Amino acid sequence: MKSKTLAIFGIGTYILSVLSSAENLEGASVVPITLVTISGIATLIFIVLATIRLWKETKILAIILPSTAFILFVFTIIQTLIEPSYGSPIIILMNLVKVINFVVFIFVIVKLFRMGRANQNYE
């Protein structure tokens, strides 16, 4: 898979994750569990492939991307089990990690597109 293709796949997985997070007014998911599962698997595949692809270019992005995804996963499980109140430190930290994860995701996509363009110039 080329770098540009991987970047487009990453954008697709992000769109799929947004679509699979739809909820009704009570907070219950309105999306079939299969779509949520496909979204999670596709996101995991993207993170693994992007980490492998970025390892030689920028190790810092290759470390931060899976780290923030894992921390976000842990906070999501904690939020599901504990159901913290509005404004609790867990909610604030989770939102902070979401923002950091999104910014890192944008950097990864940009880097993959640039790598694809650099490889295209040599061919």
In this structure, what token pair is assigned to residue 41?
């698997």
Q: How many residues does the chain have?
A: 123
Handedness of CA 43, 45, 46, 52 (dihedral sign): positive
Q: Which residues of 46-84 are buried (b: 16+ CB within 10 A; e: fewer)?
A: bbebbbebbeeeeeebbebbeebbebbeebeeeeeeeee
Mean pLDDT of 5-25: 91
**Chain segment 35-58, per-residue pLDDT in tens:** 999 999 999 999 999 999 999 888
User: What is the value of pTM for the model shown?
Assistant: 0.84
Return the DSSP state at 23.
B
**Does 90 have pLDDT greater than 70?**
yes
